Amino acid sequence: MKFFAGVDGGGTTTRCVIFDQEGNISGYGKAGPANYHAAGSAVTGDSLLTALQNACATLPPGYEIEGLFLALAGVVSDKDKRIILELSQFLLQKFTINPGNIQVNHDCQAALTGATGGTSGIIVISGTGSSCYGENGQGESWMAGGWGYILDDLGSSYYLGQQALVSCVQCYDGRGPFTILLREILHKLGLQRVEELMHWLYFPTLDRAAVAGLAPLVIQAAEADDSIAQNIVKKGARELAVMVKAVAEKLNMRAAEIKISTAGGLVNEAAYYRRAFQATLGEMLPEALLINPFLPPVIGAALLGYRQAKGIISPEILAKLNCQQKLLD
């Protein structure tokens, strides 16, 4: 029997979904991180293996995976893709996979395909990091943002946390105005003095997730009317909208194509932040339509595996998958 598989690998979790020719979800598995830049090749390979093993456990004997799509965070350049393709060759020995239909790309493509069901649109991802990716009706794609925390991640949880820390030290040393973030952040981190922030931040090494973990404090302070926190939120939301606008312009998208979906904990779960994004998007790109994702990224990845093998994605498959998506956690 023939199946189609997708892997969505991120900085902390890797998911795998497998469905059959009718769109019945037949397998689902999870594993650890699969961003090979951050976690290394060995861990990434291990996560791919484990996620696939867990998903294949429920397949019938004699199964065959007709198409496999690996959607992985940190896969940006052609060099990244080559490295991951080589790395994943060992999967052919462990599973029955059509070797001609293995594809690798960044995780944004799978998130967009899931969100729109494979039609044109733009996805904005804002969790620990941030990026934006779009596809138009002419088969063209473009990405903005996603250049990592030193140059980018604008509008992400990391950005909110980092900007909050900047506001704290500048408030303390006299360059910036008062903000309740200073008290709140020291309290949350259990620190007595501002100078101790440097130890927390730099030693032994920068923990980006810990900085991103300050984002909820920023949202709270903004809700409590702290104008500095409100500015940080506004700037972050604006940066996300700037990414969307850049992608829409690069792809010469028609108004009907500018369906925007979002992924990632910050923009999807923090209502205050999502409203700020929606407001600035309305100003900057009035023709854009914010939609709820039709399917989660991991099913988007499996759909890309399906499309690689079959050429197209039928509405029946999409509808069937949509009914089952609640099965996944």
Task: Give the binding site for its own copies (CB under 8 A).
Answer: 37, 76-79, 142-145, 147-148, 150-152, 162, 165-166, 169, 173-175, 193, 195-199, 201-203, 206, 211, 242-243, 246-247, 249-250
- Pick between residue 46 and residue 80 the one whose CB is nearest to its own copies: 80
Which residue, 162 or 262, is less far from its own copies as judged by CB?
162
**Count of H-run helices and E-run strands, the chain:** 15, 10
Find the shortest distance in angstroms from Cβ 135 to its own copies. Answer: 15
19 vs 36, beta carbon nearer its own copies: 36
Strands 259-263 and 289-290, how do they pair? parallel
Query: How many whole angstroms from its chain centre is CA 128?
Result: 9
Q: Smallest distance from the beta carbon of 209 to its own copies, in angstroms? A: 14
Query: In whole angstroms, how close is the CB of 217 to its own copies at the nearest point?
Result: 16
Strands 141-145 and 130-135: antiparallel
Which residue's CB is nearer to its own copies, number 150 or number 327?
150
Q: How far is the CB of 133 from its own copies (least distance, A)?
A: 11
Strand order in the sheet with 64-72: 25-31, 14-20, 2-9, 64-72, 102-106
Q: Residue 264 class from Cβ within 10 Å (0-12 exposed, 13-18 middle, 19+ buried)?
A: buried
Q: Taking the complex as a whole, how short is the minimal distance between the CB of residue 147 and its own copies, in angstroms? A: 5
3-state SS class at 264:
coil
Among residues 92 and 201, whose Cβ is nearest to its own copies?
201
Measured CA to CA in angstroms, residue 163 lies from 23, 59, 158, 187, 238 at distances of 44, 47, 8, 17, 14
